[in-house]
Chain A
Amino acid sequence: MFANHLQQNLSEETVEKIPNRNGYGDGLLEAGKRDERVVALCCDLTESTRTNLFAEEFPNRFIQVGIAEQNMASVGSGMASMGKIPFIASYAMFSPGRNWEQVRTTIAYNNSNVKIVGAHAGISVGPDGATHQAIEDIAIMRVIPNMVVIAPSDIHEARKVTLAASKYDGPVYFRVGRSAVPVVTTPESPFEIGKAYRMYSRNESHERKVGIVVTGSLLFNALMVADKLNKENVGVSVLHMPTIKPLDTEALESFAVEHGVLVTMEEHSIIGGLGGAVAEHLSETVPTKIVRMGIKDVFGESGEPDELISHFGLDVKSLISAIKMLV
């Protein structure tokens, strides 16, 4: 059954869809109102990263850096060293893609209080194609010491992540997407950095069972998969891990023990992302069979977001067949 803090009557036919980058825009504006130390930087993508809401309200605290992501990262570091709380935003492919070393050295090694916002993450960027589809960002951020890595699911969670990041002292990376994605959570759903949330609990009378560990906007598909499979006598639960680093190891270990078999789901390469993190941790603690669903070491391509999600096997139907082969 669905967790009680989610939207009611979730279904593929009726679910509302909004880009989760809107949650960043709303959250940033709110964070800016709460704390005057919050500043925002952007690389000529102010509207599409939704930084524009903040920029219009606080023009004196917004820096238009131009198309220069490496500069933006280090300018952010410099501002943080003077006590500011900079949010630096661009497309994930460029920040933290292009400016990885500046993020590593001038932000993370300095333990600088900069928040890196990677927009247009994942393949659901759509028609722009592989050049703009970041499927490596979680991996390249997760490997950096001091860095917190988060992939919020929907608009409400993205807003909470933005506010939580503004209050957290240290570097944070979070990704949001371009396309409209299902609104799964509510303004009241809990979010804390570092916590995993059980979003669907299996029917315990089913003998066969599988645990889904999901991050980002695939949460909705994971929930639909769980709901359908529970009706087909497979006990499927969903553990949502918006925070990929630090990993909620306690929740993960007990989830693994309970289910015996796990499937990870993410709009990211199966190498180095959530699936990688889960596999690394459980192989040392609770060795568990894990199937990683994501982009299987290939580049994305052009197409409509939904077409691409299906093409890469991350739609509800494909996920169900993959799980059925397991149990």
Chain B
Amino acid sequence: MRYLTSEEIKALEQKANTLRQSVIEMLTEAGSGHTAGPLGMADVFTLLYFGVLKHDPKNPDWEERDRVVLSNGHICPILYATLAHAGYFPVEELMTLRKLGSRLQGHPHRGTLPGVETSSGPLGSGLSQAVGMALAERIDNPYSSKFIYCLTGDGELDEGQIWEALMLAGKEKLNNLIMIIDRNGIQIDGYTKDIMPLEPLAEKLESFNFDVQEVDGHNIRALNDAIGKAQSVYSQPSVIIAHTVASKGVDVFERDFRWHGNPPGKGPEDRVSKGEQEAVALRKLRTLAGTIEPQDIS
């Protein structure tokens, strides 16, 4: 784990803001796709790719890289925006999202776009793949410092396969596996507490022999500390429950499950009309919801 200075934290927060703006622009141009999850996970992605991971965007197949498995593939706009801004491919290409012939498929496809570690979309299978990666790494090098990160949604935890994978990871004591759950409390049909209650989530995960931490998913310092602790857990796999706000950063979209599967221009109109949604979102992000003047953002 690397200690982050206040300046570094501030730079990461600004980077996350930039990524969120890309997400808004990509989704609007695509005319379909998911908004709430990508905005909510922008801080986690930023910290991972710009502060934590061992990786080389110019050599995406570098054998020694850490692996990131995005299990809830529908939030791929934030994965794509992160990869582009990290240098895996040109930022301009983000605007091809979901278009015919694009490398930016509606859900990620491994082999098409550099930096994508697996194809995902059908929920619940990413953790199993991460478990497989962690097992394979341990066979080759029991003392490896290569970490396998698996990002999942919270609604995704409804899938039985997740719990199969949790059992196997706990049984095998995969200390090179770090799962991060986007606990935003929403899924397509509504709030997770109504669709399929998950609580007591931390206790459930502990009972599967995971080291469990809960953090504010937008507090980059707290996230960094949690990842550092997860890396140092010796005899268990780790899970970080990142409490996030759906659509974080655009206050007029926040916490509304109707933004789960709609892009700007096609979202609910109670707070912003469809025609204004992209412009309002970008203005909110550039001014941090009106707290600063746009020119103050570097």
Which of A71-79, A116-124, A202-210 lies at the binding interface?
A: A71-79
Is the beta-carbon distance between B139 and A81 smaller than 8 angstroms?
no
Closest chain B residue, CB of each to CB of A43: B164
Q: How far is the CB of B89 from chain A (nearest CB, A)?
A: 19
Whole-angstrom distance between the alpha carbons of A86 and B110 in the complex? 18
Interface secondary structure of B, over-half rule: helix
Q: Return the contact of B136 from the options A39, A74, A102, A109 (Cβ within 8 A).
A: A39
- On chain B, the residues within 8 Å of A105 by CB distance are 119-122, 125
Q: How far is the CB of A323 from chain B (nearest CB, A)?
A: 45
- B-side interface residues, number (CB < 8 Å): 34
Is the beta-carbon distance between A77 and B167 smaller than 8 angstroms?
no
- On chain A, the residues within 8 Å of B129 by CB distance are 74-75, 77-78, 81, 106
- On chain A, the residues within 8 Å of B121 by CB distance are 105
Q: How far is the CB of B130 from chain A (nearest CB, A)?
A: 6
Whole-angstrom distance between the alpha carbons of A82 and B69 in the complex? 13
Q: How far is the CB of A36 from chain B (nearest CB, A)?
A: 9
Q: Return the contact of A71 from the options B110, B134, B140, B164 (Cβ within 8 A).
A: B164
Whole-angstrom distance between the alpha carbons of A131 and B178 in the complex? 38
Interface secondary structure of A, over-half rule: helix
- Interface residues as binary, B167-211 with A (CB distance below 8 Å gives 1, 0 otherwise): 110011000000000000000000000000000000000000000
- B258 in the interface (beta carbon within 8 A): no
Whole-angstrom distance between the alpha carbons of A94 and B94 in the complex? 40
Q: Quick one: which of A65, A74, A105 has the most chain B CB within 10 A?
A: A74
- B226 in the interface (beta carbon within 8 A): no
Is the beta-carbon distance between A68 and B119 smaller than 8 angstroms?
no
Q: How far is the CB of B65 from chain A (nearest CB, A)?
A: 11
- A186 in the interface (beta carbon within 8 A): no
- On chain B, the residues within 8 Å of A86 by CB distance are 132
Q: How far is the CB of B83 from chain A (nearest CB, A)?
A: 17
| Size class of the A contact interface (CB-based, 8 Å) | 20 to 34
- A189 in the interface (beta carbon within 8 A): no
Is the beta-carbon distance between B164 and A111 smaller than 8 angstroms?
no
Is the beta-carbon distance between A78 and B164 smaller than 8 angstroms?
no
Whole-angstrom distance between the alpha carbons of A273 and B124 in the complex? 30
Is the beta-carbon distance between A39 and B139 smaller than 8 angstroms?
yes
- A66 in the interface (beta carbon within 8 A): yes
Q: Return the contact of B118 from the options A76, A79, A81 (Cβ within 8 A).
A: A81
- On chain B, the residues within 8 Å of A111 by CB distance are 111
- Interface residues as binary, B78-115 with A (CB distance below 8 Å gives 1, 0 otherwise): 00000000000000000000000000000001110000
Given A65-B168, A66-B167, A71-B168, A79:B122 Cβ within 8 A: no
- B137 in the interface (beta carbon within 8 A): yes
Is the beta-carbon distance between B167 and A68 smaller than 8 angstroms?
yes
- B135 in the interface (beta carbon within 8 A): yes
Whole-angstrom distance between the alpha carbons of A285 and B69 in the complex? 44
Closest chain A residue, CB of each to CB of B137: A82
- Interface residues as binary, B54-78 with A (CB distance below 8 Å gives 1, 0 otherwise): 0000000000000101000000000
Is the beta-carbon distance between B128 and A83 smaller than 8 angstroms?
no
Whole-angstrom distance between the alpha carbons of A75 and B157 in the complex? 17
Q: Quick one: which of B110, B117, B134, B172 has the most chain A CB within 10 A?
A: B110
19 residue pairs bridging A and B, Cβ less than 8 Å apart: A63-B135, A70-B161, A71-B168, A75-B168, A77-B118, A77-B128, A78-B118, A78-B136, A79-B136, A81-B67, A82-B136, A86-B132, A101-B122, A102-B122, A102-B161, A106-B118, A110-B110, A110-B119, A111-B111
Given contacts A71-B161, A81-B110, 15 further A-B contacts (CB under 8 A): A63-B135, A63-B168, A63-B172, A70-B164, A71-B128, A71-B168, A77-B132, A78-B118, A78-B130, A78-B136, A81-B129, A81-B132, A105-B120, A109-B110, A110-B110
Give me the interface of A with B, judged by CB distance under 8 Å: 39, 60-61, 63, 65-66, 68, 70-71, 73-84, 86, 101-102, 105-106, 109-111
